[in-house]
Structure formats: C-alpha cells, structure tokens
Amino acid sequence: MKTTALFLALLAMITLSTMAAFAAPIKCAGCKTEYFLMDHLKGPFNQATGNALQPGKIGNKKAVHLLADGKIQFAFTCKPHQKLAKKFNLPAEKTADWVSTAIARDPIVVVINPDCGVDNLTVDQLKLVFSGQVKNWSELGGNDLAVQVAHLDDTVESGIITVFKETTVGKKGKLHPQAKAMGSPNQLGNFTKSKPGTITFRGLNSYKDSYGKIVAVNSVLPEKDMIVQGAYPLAVTYHLVTHKGDNPGNQFLKYLGTPEGMALINEVMVAIPQKEIQVP
C-alpha cells in the first residue's frame, strides 16, 4: 500500500514537471529600460514556478498594441495603461479589463567629487550642468572648479542614460558633448572620486561611498522612503499591465508580491511595498 502511494506521488511529480517543461512561455513586452528588470527576474521566476517568462524589448507603444491584439500575456511599461491607451488611441473595449500595477521605481543618484562644494542641485540646474551650460561650480554656489561631466558610455547596456535623460534634459535632449564616457560603473566611480570637479549619475544600487558624494535633488535625498513615496524626482516608476482575473500575467504579478520577488526587485531597483501589489 505504501509502495503504491509512493509510486503515485512520484508519478504526480513527474507529470507536473513534464507539464511545466512543455508549458507555453509567458510572453510579455514593453519598456526598453524595464526590460532589464524582467531579464533579472525571469530565471528565478522559472525556478520557483516552472513557468518560463519570455520578455521582449520593444517599447511601450508596440507592447500595448500587442497586448490589445492578444499576442502577449502582459506588458511592462513606464506609464500606467490609461495614459498609454489615450496617447496611442487604443479602443476602450480592448483595454476595459486592463489593470496597471506599479511594481518598482528605478532611481538615479547624482554623484560628485566632494571638492565641488555643493550639497543640493535642482532638476533645472542638472539640465544646465549636464548639457554643458554651467562651466564652473562657483556658478552654483560651489568651489572655484571647472565642471567635468562624466557618464557611462552609450554602448553599456544598462538603460541608465535613457532614464536620466527622460527625467532631466528630456528623451531627445543632448548631454554634454565633451563628457567623459566610461566603459563600466567601476571605472566611472574611480574617475569621479579622483578627478576634482566631476559630476556623474548612476543607478542607486551600483553606488559605493568610495565613488563620491551623493547630492540631494530638489532638496530630497534618494532614501528608500522618499523613493517609494515618489518624492525623489530622479526615478521612473515601472508598471505591469495585466488583464483582470486568473491569467499568466497575474501569476507573475503574484510572484512579485512574495518576499522572494520583492528581494529580487530590490537587487536592481526599489520595490513597491508588498501590500501595494494586489493581484486584480
């Protein structure tokens, strides 16, 4: 009798494993910067649930149209679906059961060499500095030092430049043409700490104290509570756009609300508190 029960249990496990192995992948697509978060999550999600996540890096516009046409199970976007549906003229009947859930915020910190002599910069001042219109820190109340702008090279696949431009100079804006472009976050940090007058930006999770001093933006420091509340200005909010009910998109959303999911988000961004992630 015990042998039979053991055999049936093993058979059930094998059946479930086989079903998971041949289950169709959960297709999703969206924001080209949020893609890096999806790519970070897909492996652990597969290990935890047996479901494969297949994200596409195609942008908000194409993603919401694919979702409306039923070609993907959910979209990941940097704006709630209501704004995207209006902007891209999606029919109301196709978006009636859509729900947007904020899952994370992607903060960027502004880091300077301590010799610059400033503690706070406004967003408008950042626009002037990073476009090359401010030449010396004394123009902003700092020390008499030439401004040296630095950032990661465009070829570094992090999405950091895109996010920074969206929150400061604008998506089509131009950064300082003579900025020092570095090939890695570590090189950027070492350059900032060693070159007086340097200012740069980077993701919060790649920052180390040894790289330089974080400055407040609009008098707000990038502390976790300020980021979660939306008070820190240099942060993009990322959403999942899913259908109401029991579907693959909400299975993934439910996973993100678990302690494991929240911890994984916090490895690369700042997770929205678990209590705020509710499966529609």
* pLDDT tens, position by position, 83-102: 999 999 999 999 999 999 99
Residue 12 has pLDDT above 50, yes or no: no
pLDDT tens profile 177-211: 889 999 999 999 999 999 999 999 999 988 999 99
Please indicate whether residue 247 or residue 21 has the higher confidence score (pLDDT): 247
The SS3 assignment for 266 reads helix
User: What is the DSSP code (8-state) at residue 156?
Assistant: S
For a pLDDT cut of 70, what percent of the chain falls above it? 89
Is the pTM above the cut of 0.75? yes
> Count of residues for the chain?
280
State the pLDDT confidence band at 157, using cuts at 50, 70 and 90.
low
Domain boundaries defined on the chain: 26-105+234-276, 107-229
Average pLDDT of the residues of the chain: 89
Contact between 123 and 168 under an 8 Å Cβ cutoff? The reply is yes
Domain 107-229 has CATH 3.30.930.10: no
Q: What pLDDT does 169 receive?
A: 86
Residue 217: beta bridge partners? 121, 220
Looking at CATH, the fold of the domain delimited by 26-105+234-276 is given as: D-Maltodextrin-Binding Protein; domain 2 (3.40.190)
pLDDT tens profile 264-273: 999 999 999 8
Between CA 54 and CA 30 the distance in angstroms is 11
Question: Do the first three CATH levels of 26-105+234-276 and 107-229 match, i.e. the same topology?
Answer: yes
Angle at 167 between CA 86 and CA 100, to 5 degrees: 40
Q: Which of 220, 242, 216 is nearest to 75 (CA)?
A: 242
Q: What pLDDT does 275 receive?
A: 60
Between CA 113 and CA 199 the distance in angstroms is 7
